[in-house]
Structure formats: structure tokens, C-alpha cells
Structure 1
Amino acid sequence: MQSTATTVSAYLEEIPEERKDALKKLREIILKNIPKGFVEQMTYGMIGYVVPHSIYPNGYHCTPELPLPFISFASQKNFIALYHMGIYANPELLNWFVTEYPKHSTQKLDMGKSCIRFKKANQIPFELIAELAQKMSVQEWITCYESQIIKSK
């Protein structure tokens, strides 16, 4: 379910009413906790936090005209998805998250390579997401991206 909204506010207006509060809170948590340098924008039909071209001119290797993605989230058909590229690229960060998750939620972790799925809006561990958003600076993400993702391509 990729949105065609071109602004964050337009995206938040079009999502189902029962998910609006959770997605607004998720956005607020990320904005409050993500390190300086990341920029909020619509990306891939989701609300995203990216490294702008002004900091990383090469952009995303798959689509260089787009800025380097870091975190994004969306209301999908059957769940709310949080995508964190640092978890995908950094095994230590992944291990930290997997270890911490049960301390913040009674729900089983539903996760793909970079996607964390929440089937119910009230199951989102906002405090843990706040910590996760703080874990990697722009420069740390660029270094990780270049050493783990670019290297493997």
C-alpha cells in the first residue's frame, strides 16, 4: 500500500482513523530523538528520515537521485511498519534491538531484514523506538552504509 501523498501532512490525513494517533506519535517520537542532519520527507510512499544530498551527494545506490534512506514508517494493509536501515546493516544494532524488544513489549517480535511490523497500533513500544532513533548519527550511518551495503554491491 504505497501512498501517493507528496507531503507528510497529506499522508497523515489519508491513513485510517484507527491508526492516526499511533502514526502521529511515532512521528513525534522519531522527530524528537533522531540526531541532527537527518531530514523528514515522503520517500517510497512513506514518511521517511533521510540523509539529504547536501550531506551525502551520492544518494541511495539503488536510486542515486534519491537521498540516502535511514528510517521510514507506513500504515500498511495489515500492520504498521517501521523500516530502519541501520538494523539491516549493523548486526550489533540488530542484536541490541532484538534483546531490548521483550523488555518493552509482551508481543512476539515480527521483523524482516529492516522492517518491524506492528499488527496493532497499541503494541508499538514507543520508548524503544525513541532509543533506536538515537543510536546512529548521520556520519555513523554513512560510514555503516558505505562499509556494509555499498561494499557488498
Structure 2
Amino acid sequence: MISTATTPQEYLETLEPARQQAMGKLRDCLLANLPAGFTEVMNYGMIGYVVPHALYAPGYHCNPTLPLPFISIASQKNFIALYHMGLYANADLLAWFVQEYPKHVKTKLDMGESCIRFKRPDQIPYDLIGDLATRLTPQDWIKLYESQLKK
């Protein structure tokens, strides 16, 4: 189910207490660690962190009226999801994350191409997510994004 919340705070307020706490902590982690230039928005029914049009005027190639997406977080039916587009586009970053994950969490990594699924909110590796959030600046992401578009 896609949220119709218009602000991140409204989104969090719609969640059950356990999910609200975990999502709030995940949001705080991203806000504290993302490099300057990313903006928090509601995007696709999720809390998103994007490169705003002021930094990247072309916007998202799928819909140029939208800013360039980077990270999104969502409370899905059976898990909390973190969508990190940089993991999808950067093989070195993905390899680093896959290697680091078992150092922080005892359970197996549950991941799609850019989606990390946390079935147990008490096992979200906030320190690792914070470290991941620091690894690409908006300028790094734009360069990587554009290199992928040209393939």
C-alpha cells in the first residue's frame, strides 16, 4: 500500500509504534549522515532523499519533473525497506556493503538490486546505514547516475 502522507512526519505518524520507532531512527540516521545537498521529500509514497533540481536541473530521466532520487525508506507490509540507488549503480559500493553487513547483523542479508529488506526492526544496522549514507555526495551521485544513463 502506497502512503498518501505529504510529509515525512505525517508518514511516521501513520505507522504502528514499533515501526514508527524504527523508521524514525532510520530517518534520523540518514539525516545525520547524508552529505550536504540532498533534500528530504515524500516521493513515490515513501520518505526520500533526492538531489534537488537546484543542484541537478534535468531531474529524474523517467520523469524530469521529479528530482533525482537517491535513497528512500518505507514501511512495507512484511519489512522495512531501504532503497539505495547507489548500490544498484556502483559495484564497488555494493561489494563493500555486502562484505560489511555480516559484521553488523547476524541474519542473512535480504536484498534486491537496490532494496535492502529488514524483516525485524530490531536488527537494522543503523551504524552501517549511516556509514553507507556518507559514501556518495550529491555530485558523486550525479556523475555516477549520468555514467549509467549513457550505457
* TM class, shorter-length: over 0.9
RMSD: 0.6
- Corresponding position of 1:135: 135
Superposed counterparts of 1:62-73, under 5 Å = 62-73=62-73
- Corresponding position of 2:125: 125
Unaligned 5+ segments in structure 2 are none
Superposed counterparts of 1:1-153, under 5 Å = 1-148=1-148, 150-152=149-151
What SS does the corresponding residue of 1:18 show, helix, strand or coil? helix
Distance in 2 of aligned mates of 1:140 and 1:29: 20
Give the superposition deviation at 1:18. 1.8
Distance in 1 of aligned mates of 2:77 and 2:24: 18
Percent of counterpart pairs with the same letter? 64
What SS does the corresponding residue of 1:129 show, helix, strand or coil? helix
Give the superposition deviation at 1:81. 0.2
Tell me the TM-score normalised to structure 2 length: 0.98
Give the superposition deviation at 1:15. 1.3
Give the superposition deviation at 1:136. 0.3
Tell me the TM-score normalised to structure 1 length: 0.97
Aligned residues: 151
Unaligned 5+ segments in structure 1 are none
Give the superposition deviation at 1:4. 0.7
